[in-house]
Chains A and B, each alone.
Chain A
Amino acid sequence: MLVQFSPSPFPCLHPGLLCNSLAWSGMASVCLRTPLSSPPTMLATFDVVTLSRLQFALTAIFHMLWPVLSTGLAIFLVVLEAIWLRTRNPLYYRQARFWAKLYVLNFGIGVASGLPMEFQFGTNWAPLSEFAGDFFGAVLGFEGAMAFMLEAGFLGIMLFGWHKVPPVIHFLSTVMVAFGANLSVFWILSANSWLQTPAGGTFSDGHFHVQNYFAAINNPFMVKSVIHMALATVETSMLVVAAISAWSLLRKKAPEFFLFSFKLALVILLAVAPMQILAGHESAVQVAEHQPTKLAAIEALWDDQAAGSSPAWSVLAAPDEASGSNRWSLEVPGAFSWILETRPRLSQPVRGLNSWPADQRPHMVGLLFYAFRVMVAIGLAAAALMALSLLLWWRGGLNAGSFERWRWFSWAWILSAPAGYLAIEAGWVVRCVGRQPWTVYGQLRTADAASVLPVGEVITSLSTFAVLYTFLLIFALYFGSRIIAKGPNLSLEPPSGASALPISTPST
Chain B
Amino acid sequence: MEFLELFMPTVWFVILALFLLLYVILDGFDLGVGILSLTSPGEDQRTILMTSLGNVWDANETWLVLMGGALFGAFPLAYGTILKALYGPIYLMILGLILRAVAFEFRENAVNKRPWNLMFGIGSVVVAASQGICLGTVLSGIPTDAAGHFTGSVWIWVNPSSLLVALTLIQGYVLIGSTYLIIKTSGELQRLHVRTARLAAATTLGGALLITFTAPFASEVLRQRLFDPAFLPFFVVLPLLGIALIVQLFRSLALQQEVWPFVYTVLLFILSFAGLGVMVFPAVIPPSVTIFQASSSVSSMVFMLTFIGVLIPIMLFYNIYNYIAFRGKVSVE
Mark A residues whose CB is within 8 Å of B: 104-105, 107-109, 111-116, 118-119, 121-123, 126-127, 129-130, 133-146, 148-150, 152-157, 159-161, 164-165, 176, 209-210, 213, 451, 453-454, 457, 460-461, 464, 468, 472, 475-476, 479, 482-483
Nearest neighbor of A105 in chain B, beta-carbon distance: B105
Selected contact of B72 from candidates A113, A127, A129, CB within 8 Å: A129
Total A-B pairs, Cβ < 8 A: 212
Selected contact of B326 from candidates A111, A121, A134, A161, CB within 8 Å: A161
- In the bound complex, CA of A451 to CA of B99 (Å): 27
A115 touches B80 (CB 8 A): no
- In the bound complex, CA of A130 to CA of B71 (Å): 12
Distance (whole angstroms) from the CB of B224 to the closest CB of chain A: 28
Some 26 contacts from A to B, beta carbons below 8 A apart, are: A111-B61, A114-B65, A116-B94, A121-B72, A122-B90, A123-B86, A126-B80, A126-B81, A129-B80, A133-B79, A134-B300, A137-B72, A137-B296, A138-B296, A142-B307, A144-B70, A149-B66, A152-B61, A153-B318, A155-B55, A156-B54, A161-B55, A210-B297, A213-B303, A468-B99, A482-B109
B325 touches A165 (CB 8 A): yes
- Report if B17 contacts A (CB, 8 A): no
Beta-carbon contacts under 8 Å, B88-129 to A? 88, 90-91, 94-95, 97-102, 104-106, 108-110
Nearest neighbor of A461 in chain B, beta-carbon distance: B91
B325 touches A161 (CB 8 A): yes
- Report if B311 contacts A (CB, 8 A): yes
A144 touches B66 (CB 8 A): yes
- In the bound complex, CA of A285 to CA of B315 (Å): 39
B94 touches A119 (CB 8 A): yes
- In the bound complex, CA of A164 to CA of B56 (Å): 14
Tell whether A155 pairs with B58 under 8 Å between CB atoms, given A108-B104, A129-B80: yes
A133 touches B69 (CB 8 A): no
Inter-chain contacts of A107 with B (CB < 8 A): 58, 105
- Report if B83 contacts A (CB, 8 A): yes
- Report if B214 contacts A (CB, 8 A): no
- In the bound complex, CA of A422 to CA of B307 (Å): 36
Inter-chain contacts of B149 with A (CB < 8 A): 126
- Report if B304 contacts A (CB, 8 A): yes
B326 touches A119 (CB 8 A): no
B55 touches A160 (CB 8 A): yes
Inter-chain contacts of B56 with A (CB < 8 A): 156
- Report if B206 contacts A (CB, 8 A): no
- In the bound complex, CA of A139 to CA of B90 (Å): 22
- Report if B256 contacts A (CB, 8 A): no
- Report if B73 contacts A (CB, 8 A): yes
Shortest beta-carbon contacts, A-B, top 7: A133-B76, A156-B55, A122-B83, A126-B80, A137-B73, A137-B72, A141-B69
- Report if B62 contacts A (CB, 8 A): yes
Distance (whole angstroms) from the CB of B123 to the closest CB of chain A: 10
Besides A138-B303, A152-B61, A156-B326, 18 new A-B residue pairs in contact (Cβ under 8 A), listed by A number: A105-B106, A112-B98, A118-B65, A119-B83, A119-B94, A122-B82, A126-B84, A142-B307, A145-B312, A149-B62, A154-B318, A156-B55, A156-B59, A159-B55, A210-B303, A461-B91, A472-B102, A479-B106
